[in-house]
Structure formats: C-alpha cells, structure tokens
C-alpha cells in the first residue's frame, strides 16, 4: 500500500473503538441528515473521479454518527485507495506533532474535511507545520460558505474548494451540492461558484482545483526591507528618499508587470537588526514578517533550519556566501628579484650539480697522465665560466673529457637562457608574496576578523561551529557597532572584513576607494539566497514560478552585474586585476637593479677576501 496504509488500519480501529465504546450513548441519539446519502454519494464520486489515485487525509466529525462512519467505510473508493483517517474531536496539536511533513504539507495528498458541527477547535490547535496544498471542505449540512472559506485556519492551502449548500438555499435546492472556491485578492465576489457538482463537469483534478491567484488585482504588498544591501537593495541614486534600487527591485518590478501588484519598501527595520532568532523571538526584517506586519522580505537571506521552520521560503535565485576581504600584501623588495627567476629548490639543485661536476672533473684529472687543469683552484673557475655565458679558453685533450665538458656547457646554456628570460620579467613586474585564499589559511595566520554587528547569524555560527577553522575565526571575531568601525582595523592591515560577498565588493572599492584590497576565493557559509514569506502563505508559489523564470532566463546574473557596475564601473574585475600589477613596459629604474649592485659588492668583497688570503699565505711561505 502507500505511505499511509499502516496509519490507516490503526486509526480506523482506534476510531471505531472510541466511537462505539466511548461515544455510543450520545451518538445513538443523533439523527442522520436527510441529505446524508447524497453527500456520501458525492464523496464517493469525488474520490473515484477527480481525486482518483490520490492519497487522502480524511478528517471526520464524530457528530455525524456511527451510521455515517460505517457507510463511509463501505464506500468502494474509500476501501481501494490509501487514506489517513483523523478524528476531529482529538487534540489537533497532539495529532499534528506526531505526523510527518509528508502528511502535514505534502503536495501528493489531498485533505478532505467532512463535518456537521464546528470543526474549528481542531484546526485552531494544529501546528504551523500543517498546511496542505489541496484542501476539500465538505459540510454534511447547510453552512455559511463565506465564513468557512475565509476561516483563518484555511488561509494556507494553495488550492481549496467547498462542496455543499449555503444556509440561504431552500430545501429543494439543497438536494444539489455546489462547488465553491475562494479568490482572496478578488475585489468583487471573492467567493466563486464553480458550478453544481456533477461528474461530467468536474472530471479532472484541475477542473476542481482551479488557480485562485491568476492575478493579484493590484494588491499593495508591504515588504520588510533594509536599504543597506548593496547591490541587491539600496537607496536609489537618482530617485527620491525611500525609492529603492538594486537586483531585488528589478525582480519585483519584472514580476509586478506579470502578476499585477504593487509594493511598498521599508528603508530600515525599527530595531536595526537584520533578522535572527534571539531570546525566543525574531528580530529585524524577519521579525516584521513573523509578526505579520509585513507580507515578506527580499533582502539577502539564505536557507537556515530555524528560518525554514518559522517562515515560507521562495525558490533560490542566486548562490552566494559571506566574503572575506583583506588588504593585498605589499610586493617583495625589488632587489631580491635577482634570485626570483628560480625557486629555492632550483637554486639548491644547481648548486649541488655544480659541486658534483667539480668533483667529477677533479677525479678525471687525477686519472689523466698529465692533468688538464691541475687542482681545485683551477677547476671550479673553469666550470663556472659556462654558468656566466663566458667562453671556454681551451678544451681538454681526451675525447671522453671533452664530451663531459660539452654536456656541462649545454646544461649551463639552457639554464642561463631560462634565468635571463625570467629575470627580465621579474625586474619590471612586482612580485607579491603568496596571498591568503582559503578559510584555513586565514585561521592559521595572525589576522583577526572584523564584522558589523547588525543581528546576522554569522557571529554565533562561527563561535559554535564544529569546523576548527571556522571556530578559530569565531574566537578572533571583533564585532563593532557601526560599519565604519568594522572597516578601520581592516584598513590598518590587522583584520579581515566579513560581509556578504557582493556587498563587500561594493562597500570596499566604492565607498572607501580601497585599491589594494582583494576578496578571498573561499566564502563563509555559501548558500542559496531566497525570499521569506509569512508561514503558510498560499500564494507564495506564484512568486516561486516567476523567480524561476527570471533565473532560467539569466536576468538575475545580468542584473547583479549591472547593479555592481553602477558603483564600480564597467569591466571592474579586469581593471582591478590590472591595477594590482605594474605595466609590462615600465622603464627599469635603480630600484629594479639593486640586486645586481648587491651581487657586484658581494663579488668584490669575496675577491678582496681571496686576495687577502693569498697574500697572507705567500707572506707566510716567504718567512
């Protein structure tokens, strides 16, 4: 059977025992309504027709009596399909706490409420996690259609229909069951009659569950926002005070033309907090939405378990995390460019090769009847000439020794050519030390981190993270009361700056005009950005569909690029990369060739010491 088959058997047996043994005296006095057979027949047709193949959650009102329940069990459609049976006299909160999200809000199940008396106590107490996508309300007596469909507890379902008769319907017309639905944004006649029930009109699932939000009819949504979210949402540069601009405004305007709505933005939340769960309540923009003062928020928010539990979230429209900005380290001294062309490993290998070559050459000389060079003092200068591209004055007589010297000369030619070519680049282009690019490298460095304390979750998450590098950053985190205060230690070169990636780029390079900063490649808590709505918002799916279309068309990426360039200029990334390097045609200055003079001085010093040693040695021999 389906996912609810196990629940069905136990629930039915329990409900039968409760009804028969506990409530039988009171229920036995109930008189079945004359139209009960018609309602049961309609329910049978509903389950076998539009709802055929769908799993259902059936909420049953025990006041209908044992007779109706037994007849309900004998319905062919009820016996062949998978169902969950719920007693409306039970505690709604306790029942909902014991159910899975697939039962409470799954899109593959239809919830059917069958009642005669007041059903609201049960649904007033269910948890906020109860929010079916499809809801059928089926009163077995004449009822106030408007009151039922506009009931606060039924505002969450995306599709809702009521099958029944109005209190104003006379007895003759009461024999016909009508199908009603509710259009919340309709300015006139929000309660719509879809027609009298019959199997020919309502043959398909889509015929009974119609789109209740074809248009928002010019409704004005109130948004909890903050104009401090570059480049997503900020004060317009050219518009009046309170007019927003940014990626979110472009998205709202594009969807407004299609869905027919207007909106009002909030320049900042009253408590100047972004939005977090503190001391049992939500703060900032999320707090405004949670208290139902605002319909939804569109600022920089990602998915977290706490937010998903308390709000409805949209589909993702962009992937981004919290960026880390640092000042670029200054270039290494130019006089050291003499040895930059080779790494330390290459220099060590060249030195070891030279020493080995000198030793081999000495052994060859010892094996000759007549030595070619005659000792270490003549051998190492002879071999060193090739490393400085100097010609060799004479060649050895032995052919095998000539081959050895020739291979050494070819080795030196390749080596010096590579060194000379690379030296030209290092003399004119600055060399920077290795930059920090990952969170691990930052945690292992001496840098601290700085952040503006505006109620974002990052500070608490870093300090309690299970990742040792994240936790290290949390221990070194300094929170500041203003954005300017958080930037000052970064400009002093002692801290890294934490903020959403796109905001950091605009904030650092536009507001502070910092030219020697860069963003780490790795981001903190990268995730999908979304909008947050009030919990159980029936019309959220309309925004989901529209956002998905914007993402698939590439407009989100385009708008993000355009809004960033509004602050930083076109082609910013390429220009920023070029600004960190010197032009390749820079003239060589004394600063560039300092290393050559240092080598000259070192050579002169070495030659003087050698001369002094030879002079002292000869003087000692004369004495």
Backbone angles phi, psi at 136, to 5 degrees: -115, 125
The confidence score (pLDDT) of residue 586 equals 53
- Please, what sign has the CA dihedral across residues 95, 96, 102, 105? positive
- Range with the lowest mean pLDDT among 15-24, 121-130, 388-397? 15-24
Determine the Cα–Cα distance for residues 537 and 531; give it in Å rounded to an integer: 12
Give 192-208 pLDDT, tens digit per residue. Answer: 999 999 988 999 999 99
User: Per the structure block, which two tokens stand in for 193?
Assistant: 């009659």
For residues 49-53, average pLDDT: 89
The confidence score (pLDDT) of residue 603 equals 66
Long-range CB contacts for residues 461-466, cutoff 8 Å, separation at least 24:
461/525, 462/524
- Range with the lowest mean pLDDT among 17-31, 149-163, 310-324? 17-31
- 239, with CB counted inside 10 A (0-12, 13-18, 19+), is exposed
The confidence score (pLDDT) of residue 210 equals 95
Ramachandran quadrant class, 583 (left: phi over 0; alpha: psi -120 to 50; beta: rest):
beta
The confidence score (pLDDT) of residue 10 equals 42
The confidence score (pLDDT) of residue 292 equals 94
For residues 124-137, average pLDDT: 94
How does DSSP classify residue 282?
E
Reported confidence tier of residue 262, pLDDT bands at 50, 70, 90: very high
Give 494-518 pLDDT, tens digit per residue. Answer: 999 999 999 999 988 888 888 888 8
For residues 116-135, average pLDDT: 93
Does 384 score more than 90 pLDDT? no
Determine the Cα–Cα distance for residues 33 and 79; give it in Å rounded to an integer: 23
Give 429-474 pLDDT, tens digit per residue. Answer: 666 677 898 999 999 999 999 999 988 889 999 999 999 999 999 9
Does 9 score more than 60 pLDDT? no
Interior/surface letters 169-181, b for 16+ CB within 10 angstroms, e for the rest: eeeeebeebbbbb
The confidence score (pLDDT) of residue 290 equals 96
Reported confidence tier of residue 385, pLDDT bands at 50, 70, 90: confident
Residue matched to tokens 């059977």: 1
Does 526 score more than 80 pLDDT? yes
Give 276-288 pLDDT, tens digit per residue. Answer: 998 899 999 999 9
Question: What does the angle CA 464 – CA 465 – CA 467 come to, to the nearest 5 degrees?
Answer: 150
The confidence score (pLDDT) of residue 169 equals 55
The domain 5-208 is classified under which CATH number: 3.30.70.20, 3.40.47.10, 3.40.50.2300, 3.40.50.300?
3.40.50.2300
Reported confidence tier of residue 574, pLDDT bands at 50, 70, 90: low
Mean residue pLDDT across the chain: 84
- Please, what sign has the CA dihedral across residues 210, 215, 217, 221? positive
For residues 354-377, average pLDDT: 82
Does 601 score more than 90 pLDDT? no
The domain 214-317+530-588 is classified under which CATH number: 1.10.287.130, 2.40.50.140, 3.90.700.10, 3.40.190.10?
3.40.190.10
Give 323-347 pLDDT, tens digit per residue. Answer: 999 998 877 776 666 777 778 888 8
Question: What does the angle CA 597 – CA 602 – CA 604 come to, to the nearest 5 degrees?
Answer: 95
Q: What angle do the packed helices 555-568 and 247-259 form, to 10 degrees? A: 140
Residue from 532, 525, 523 nearest 504 by CA: 523
């Amino acid at each position: 059977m389906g996912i609810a088959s196990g629940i069905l058997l136990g629930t039915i047996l329990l409900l039968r025992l409760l009804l028969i043994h506990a409530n039988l005296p009171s229920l036995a006095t109930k008189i079945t309504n004359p139209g009960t057979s018609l309602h049961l027949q309609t329910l049978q047709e509903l389950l076998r027709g539009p709802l055929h193949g769908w799993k259902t959650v059936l909420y049953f009102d025990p006041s209908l009596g044992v007779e109706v329940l037994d007849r309900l069990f004998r319905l062919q459609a009820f016996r062949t399909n998978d169902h969950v049976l719920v007693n409306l006299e039970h505690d709604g909160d306790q029942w909902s706490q014991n159910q899975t999200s697939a039962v409470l809000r799954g899109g593959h199940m239809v919830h059917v409420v069958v009642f005669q008396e007041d059903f609201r106590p049960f649904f007033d107490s269910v948890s906020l996690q109860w929010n079916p996508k499809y809801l059928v309300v089926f009163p077995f007596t004449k009822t106030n259609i408007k009151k039922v469909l506009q009931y606060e507890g039924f505002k969450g379902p995306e599709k809702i229909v009521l099958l029944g008769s109005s209190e104003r319907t006379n007895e003759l017309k009461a024999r016909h069951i009508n199908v009603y639905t509710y259009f919340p944004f309709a300015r006139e006649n929000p309660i719509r009659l879809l027609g009298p029930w019959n199997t020919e009109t309502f043959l398909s699932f889509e015929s009974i569950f119609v789109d209740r939000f074809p248009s928002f009819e010019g409704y004005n949504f109130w948004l909890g926002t903050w104009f401090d979210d570059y480049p997503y949402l900020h004060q317009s540069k050219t518009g009046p005070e309170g007019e927003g601009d940014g990626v979110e405004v472009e998205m709202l305007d594009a969807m407004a033309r299609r869905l027919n709505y207007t909106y009002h933005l909030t320049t900042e939340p009253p408590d100047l907090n972004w939005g977090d769960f503190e001391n049992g309540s939500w703060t900032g923009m999320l707090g405004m939405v949670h208290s139902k003062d605002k319909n939804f928020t569109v600022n920089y928010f990602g998915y977290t378990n706490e937010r998903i539990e308390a709000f409805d979230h949209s589909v993702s429209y962009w992937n981004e995390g919290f960026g880390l900005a640092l000042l670029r380290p200054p270039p290494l001294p130019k006089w050291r460019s003499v040895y930059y062309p080779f790494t330390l490993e290459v220099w060590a290998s060249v030195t070891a090769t030279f020493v080995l070559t000198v030793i081999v050459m000495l052994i060859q000389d010892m094996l000759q009847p007549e030595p070619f060079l005659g000792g270490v003092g003549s051998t190492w200068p002879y071999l060193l000439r090739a490393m400085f591209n100097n010609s060799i004055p004479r060649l050895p007589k032995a052919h095998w020794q000539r081959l050895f010297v020739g291979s050494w000369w070819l080795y030196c030619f390749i080596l010096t050519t590579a060194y000379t070519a690379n030296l030209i680049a290092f003399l004119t282009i600055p060399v920077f030390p290795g930059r920090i690019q990952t969170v691990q490298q930052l945690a292992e460095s001496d840098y601290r981190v700085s952040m503006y304390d505006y109620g974002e979750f990052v500070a608490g998450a870093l300090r309690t993270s299970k990742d040792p590098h994240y936790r290290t950053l949390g221990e070194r985190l300094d929170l500041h009361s203003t954005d300017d205060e958080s930037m000052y230690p970064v400009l002093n070169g002692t801290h890294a700056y934490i903020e959403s990636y796109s905001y950091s780029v605009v904030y650092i390079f536009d507001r502070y005009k910092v030219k020697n900063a860069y963003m780490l490649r790795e981001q903190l808590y990268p995730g999908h950005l979304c909008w947050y709505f009030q919990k159980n918002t029936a019309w959220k799916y309309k925004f989901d569909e529209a956002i998905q279309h914007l993402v698939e068309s590439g407009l989100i990426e385009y708008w993000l690029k355009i809004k960033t360039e509004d602050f930083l200029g076109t082609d910013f990334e390429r220009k920023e990369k070029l600004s960190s390097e010197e032009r390749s045609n820079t003239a060589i200055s004394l600063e560039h060739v300092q290393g050559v003079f240092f080598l000259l001085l070192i050579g002169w010093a070495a030659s003087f010491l050698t001369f002094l040693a030879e002079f002292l040695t000869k003087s000692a021999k004369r004495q």
